[in-house]
Chain A
C-alpha cells in the first residue's frame, strides 16, 4: 500500500459514503466551487484541498477502482465510496505508521504557497547568479507574473543584494531549523543556485528515499508551514513577508463571490444581485454558501429563519448524515436545498471555531 492509497482512504473515510467519487476528486484536485469548498469544511478535509492538483480524473477513478478491487472500500450505489472493515483497519495502521504532516493546510495555504515558492526560487536563483557576476543565466520560472514580481523587487545594486542575501539566508535558516531534517532537505534540494539547478520532485524523492507521493505531501506541508510562520510572525521574517504581502488576503474568497458580498452588504436581495450581475440566482446562492463558510459575521437569518436552521441541524444529527437529499426528504417541501446548504455551512464554521477557540 503506497502513500497515495492511504490519502485516498482518509478522504473516503471522512466523506463516509456521502459524496461521489467525483466529489472527492474535486476536493483533492482543488476545484474552486462552493460545493467543494463546503465539502472540505463539512468533512474536515480542508487540509487536503488541492493536494492532488493536476491529477487526471481518469487516473483517480482507476485508483478508486483498485481500492475497491482490493476490498478496502465499498461503492454504495456504484459511486459513493465508503471504507470497508479491512479498509478501516488498513487506514488506521497507515496513519499510525506514516501520519499526515501536521502543518498541511491545502485550503488556506495551497495557492499562496505556489506563488510564494515560484517567487522564492526565482529570487534565490537570481541572487545567487548575480552575486557571482553571472547575468546571463536561464531563469527557472517562466510564469510572467513571477518574472514581473522578481524584476520589481530585486535589489538594484550590489550592496543591497549582498544585504538581501544574508537576511534571506538567516530567515530561511531559522524557519528550516524548526522543521524535521528531512523536510528542510526536501525544500533546499529544490532550490537553484549558480552551479546547481534545483532537483525535480522525482529526484528529491529518490535522494530522500521517500515514496514520491509522501515526498510531495511533505513538501507541500513544509511550504504551508513556512507560509504560516511568516504570516504569523511578520516581525521575525521581514524579508520573506514581502514575498507574501500582496497576496495574503486573496485566497479566501473567489473574486466573483467578493462582488456578490459587496452587493449583499448594500442590502440587496438575492434576486436583485442576480439581475445586476447577470448571473443565475443559483450562482448567487453558491456565493452565499461560500460566504457563510468564510465570513464569520455573515448573517444567514435573512434567508432562513432561526427555527428552521435548528430543524435542519436536528435532522442532520438524528439521521447522522450531511447528505442534502436525505435531509431534504425528512424535512419536506417548505425548506429548499439552498437553505440546507447554507445552514450546514454556517453551522460547520461556528462549530469549528468553538473547537479552536
Chain B
C-alpha cells in the first residue's frame, strides 16, 4: 500500500501538508531525522503513518501524560486500537498486561522516566523497534538539564533497545536548542527538515493600554466584536475567574474559565464544551492548550504576556490550524511587567532559602533523609521544591561530598538561570514594545528571514480587522429543557410519554 493510500484510508486526508511527505520518506529510508514544523502542522502523522508500514513497534517519547492520552484517544477514535500508553499513573496489572501483549501494538507512547525502567526497556530490547520518536524534542534541552535528567539518557536507552532510527520532532527550537538536541540524542548525520515557524494565516495585533481599567475595556471591546471561538491567556487563576465574570456581564455569556486548580470533572467538561462549540471564549492560564486539538480557533488574546517568546509562539500557534485567518492579540499595560518576574523567582529557591536550608541540615552528618525533610519546611513553590529534591539527590550520588562547594555551585546556578530567564523576558517585552514588523522580529528570534509577507501581517505593517470580526451578535446560552425532557433526550426516549 502506498503512503498516499494510507493517508486517505486511515487518516481520511486527501493530501499531505507541507513537509510531511519528505519526512515520512526519510523515515522509511531508515535515516535519523530532525524535523521542526509549526504547531498544528501535523507532525504526528510523520510517525503514525509509517507505523502502518514498518515492521515492529514505534516508540514515542512524550513529556506529558495528558498529551500521550490525548493522542491515543484520538487514534482510537479514528478506529486504530493497536496503540497504548505506558506510564506510572497506570495500575500495575494494566501495565503488566500491556507488556505481555506488547508485540500486538503498533505505537507505544511513553514518558522518558518509564522508558528507563528495566521492565519496559528489557521487553523492548527483546523485540523489534521500528522507530524511536522524541516528540516535543525541545523539552530535552529545556527541562533535561534541570529537572528531568532522564531526558539526557534517551540516547543510551535507544542503544539498549537496538538503536532504531530516531525521529526528533519539535515546533519551536532556536539554533542553539537544535544543536543541543542533536548532541544529546546522539543523532547520526540526521536529515534536517526545518520549516519556518511562521504562520501566515495568523495576524498580529497589539494594544498598549494607559491604565489597567482601559486594558479591561479594550479586552471587552475586542471579545465582543471578534469572531470566535477564542482563547484568552492570563497569568493567574484569579485573573481567569475575574475576567470571565466581567465578560459574562458584558454580553459574552458563553465564556468559561479554566485553570489547574479546578476539579478534574469540571476541567474535562469545560474542555469538551469548548471543543463542541458550546463556549465562545475560554479564559485560562497556560495550563490550557497542550493537547487541545481544535482546528477552528479564531483568536488568541494575551491579557498577560508569557515569560518567553517560544511559549508565546506555542500559545498563538493554537489558532487557525484549519488554515483560515486568525488573530493573535497582545494587550499590554506596564503593571504587567512584574508578573513574569514574580513567576520566575517563584520557580526557583532564593539564596535566602538555600541559606535557611544549610542551617537546618546537619553539615557534619550529611543524612539524606534529613536533607529531603528540610526541603519541605522551606515552603517553596512546587517547581522550586522539585528543583531542590533533584539537586539534593544529585549531591548524594557524588563520591566526594563537599557541602560548602555544593551550596555555592547551587546558588551560582540559580543566579545564572534567573539571569537567563530575565533575559528571555526582556526579549519578550522588547518584542511587544517594538515598532518593527511583529512577524519579522519573531522570525528573527529563530534566526529566520521573512520570505513572503502575507496581506494581513501585523498592525505595524497595517492591518484591517474586518476579516476577524463577526457580524453576528454573541449568542446567549441556550435555554434548558425540564429535567424530564433532558433525561428523555439522553436516553433516546423522546417518543415515550413522560
A45 to chain B, nearest CB (A): 23
Q: Tell me the bound Cα distance from A131 to B488 in angstroms.
A: 13
CB of B69 within 8 A of CB of A142, answer yes
Of the candidate stretches A25-33, A96-104, A133-141, the one touching chain B is: A133-141
CB of B483 within 8 A of CB of A185, answer yes
Question: Residue on A with the closest CB to B94?
Answer: A144
Question: Residue on A with the closest CB to B273?
Answer: A197
Of the candidate stretches A167-175, A268-276, A304-312, the one touching chain B is: A167-175
Residues of A within 8 A of B369 (CB): none
A84 interfacial contact with B, CB 8 Å: no
Residues of B within 8 A of A124 (CB): 490-491
B185 interfacial contact with A, CB 8 Å: no
Q: Which label, helix, strand, loop or mixed, suits the secondary structure of the B interface?
A: helix
Residues of A within 8 A of B484 (CB): 173
B275 interfacial contact with A, CB 8 Å: yes
Residues of B within 8 A of A128 (CB): 489-492
B339 interfacial contact with A, CB 8 Å: no
B384 interfacial contact with A, CB 8 Å: no
Given the interface contacts A128-B491, A145-B91, does A140 sit within 8 Å of B486 by beta carbon?
Answer: no
Residues of B within 8 A of A138 (CB): 73, 77, 272, 275-276
* Contact indicator per residue, chain A 198-210, by CB within 8 Å of chain B (1) or not (0): 1111110001000
Instruction: Select one of B268, B480, B483, B491 contacting A176, CB under 8 A.
Output: B483
A14 interfacial contact with B, CB 8 Å: no
Q: Tell me the bound Cα distance from A7 to B480 in angstroms.
A: 30
CB of B91 within 8 A of CB of A188, answer no
Q: Tell me the bound Cα distance from A315 to B269 in angstroms.
A: 53
Size bracket, chain A contacts: 35 or more
* Contact indicator per residue, chain B 487-498, by CB within 8 Å of chain A (1) or not (0): 111111100101
CB of B272 within 8 A of CB of A192, answer yes
A224 to chain B, nearest CB (A): 17
Size bracket, chain B contacts: 20 to 34
B213 interfacial contact with A, CB 8 Å: no
A313 interfacial contact with B, CB 8 Å: no
CB of A207 within 8 A of CB of B269, answer no
Q: Which of B262-319 contact A (CB under 8 A)?
A: 263-266, 268-270, 272-273, 275-276, 278
A161 to chain B, nearest CB (A): 9
CB of A168 within 8 A of CB of B276, answer no
Q: Tell me the bound Cα distance from A187 to B487 in angstroms.
A: 10
Question: Residue on B with the closest CB to A138?
Answer: B272
B71 to chain A, nearest CB (A): 13
B201 to chain A, nearest CB (A): 25
CB of B273 within 8 A of CB of A188, answer no
* Contact indicator per residue, chain B 66-94, by CB within 8 Å of chain A (1) or not (0): 00010001000110000000000111001
Given the interface contacts A131-B492, A166-B493, does A144 sit within 8 Å of B90 by beta carbon?
Answer: yes
CB of A197 within 8 A of CB of B269, answer yes
A177 to chain B, nearest CB (A): 9
Instruction: Select one of B78, B269, B489 contacting A198, CB under 8 A.
Output: B269
A357 interfacial contact with B, CB 8 Å: no
CB of A140 within 8 A of CB of B272, answer yes
Q: Tell me the bound Cα distance from A334 to B263 in angstroms.
A: 49
B62 to chain A, nearest CB (A): 16
Residues of B within 8 A of A191 (CB): 486-487, 490
B158 interfacial contact with A, CB 8 Å: no
CB of A188 within 8 A of CB of B487, answer yes
Q: Tell me the bound Cα distance from A207 to B479 in angstroms.
A: 10
Residues of B within 8 A of A54 (CB): 263
Q: Which of B463-498 contact A (CB under 8 A)?
A: 480, 483-484, 486-493, 496, 498
* Contact indicator per residue, chain A 238-252, by CB within 8 Å of chain B (1) or not (0): 000000000000000
Most buried by B among A139, A165, A196: A196
Residues of B within 8 A of A148 (CB): 94
A189 interfacial contact with B, CB 8 Å: yes
Q: Which of A90-141 contact B (CB under 8 A)?
A: 124, 127-128, 131, 135-141
CB of A184 within 8 A of CB of B272, answer no
Residues of B within 8 A of A199 (CB): 269
Given the interface contacts A144-B91, A176-B483, does A200 sit within 8 Å of B270 by beta carbon?
Answer: yes
Residues of B within 8 A of A173 (CB): 484, 487, 498
Question: Residue on A with the closest CB to B487?
Answer: A188
Question: Residue on B with the closest CB to A181?
Answer: B483
Instruction: Select one of B278, B489, B491 contacting A197, CB under 8 A.
Output: B278
Q: Tell me the bound Cα distance from A197 to B496 in angstroms.
A: 23
Residues of B within 8 A of A166 (CB): 491-493, 496
Q: Tell me the bound Cα distance from A139 to B89 in angstroms.
A: 19
A193 interfacial contact with B, CB 8 Å: yes
CB of B69 within 8 A of CB of A169, answer no
Most buried by A among B276, B490, B492, B496: B490
Q: Tell me the bound Cα distance from A220 to B43 in angstroms.
A: 44
CB of A200 within 8 A of CB of B269, answer yes
Instruction: Select one of B77, B275, B496 contacting A136, CB under 8 A.
Output: B77
Instruction: Select one of A142, A169, A196 contacting B488, CB under 8 A.
Output: A169
Q: Tell me the bound Cα distance from A137 to B397 in angstroms.
A: 49
Question: Residue on B with the closest CB to A53?
Answer: B263
B496 to chain A, nearest CB (A): 8
Q: Tell me the bound Cα distance from A188 to B275 in angstroms.
A: 21
CB of A189 within 8 A of CB of B272, answer no
A211 to chain B, nearest CB (A): 16
Question: Residue on A with the closest CB to B490?
Answer: A193
Q: Tell me the bound Cα distance from A172 to B493 in angstroms.
A: 12
CB of B493 within 8 A of CB of A165, answer yes
B256 interfacial contact with A, CB 8 Å: yes
* Contact indicator per residue, chain A 144-175, by CB within 8 Å of chain B (1) or not (0): 11001000000000000010011011001100
Residues of A within 8 A of B272 (CB): 138, 140, 192, 197
Residues of A within 8 A of B493 (CB): 165-166, 169
A30 to chain B, nearest CB (A): 14
B452 to chain A, nearest CB (A): 37
Given the interface contacts A173-B498, A185-B483, does A200 sit within 8 Å of B490 by beta carbon?
Answer: no
Q: Tell me the bound Cα distance from A137 to B272 in angstroms.
A: 10
Residues of B within 8 A of A201 (CB): 263, 265-266
B54 to chain A, nearest CB (A): 26
Given A142-B69, A188-B483, A200-B266: 12 more A-B contacts, CB < 8 Å: A135-B77, A138-B275, A140-B272, A143-B264, A144-B94, A162-B492, A165-B493, A172-B487, A189-B480, A190-B269, A197-B269, A200-B265
Q: Could you tell me which B residues sit within 8 Å of A by CB distance?
A: 69, 73, 77-78, 89-91, 94, 256, 263-266, 268-270, 272-273, 275-276, 278, 480, 483-484, 486-493, 496, 498
A-B contact pairs, 12 of them (CB 8 A): A124-B491, A127-B492, A128-B491, A128-B492, A141-B268, A142-B69, A169-B493, A188-B487, A192-B269, A198-B269, A199-B269, A201-B266
Q: Could you tell me which A residues sit within 8 Å of B by CB distance?
A: 54, 124, 127-128, 131, 135-145, 148, 162, 165-166, 168-169, 172-173, 176, 181, 184-185, 187-193, 195-203, 207
Smallest CB-CB A-B distances: 7 pairs: A169-B491, A188-B483, A193-B490, A200-B266, A136-B77, A197-B273, A185-B483
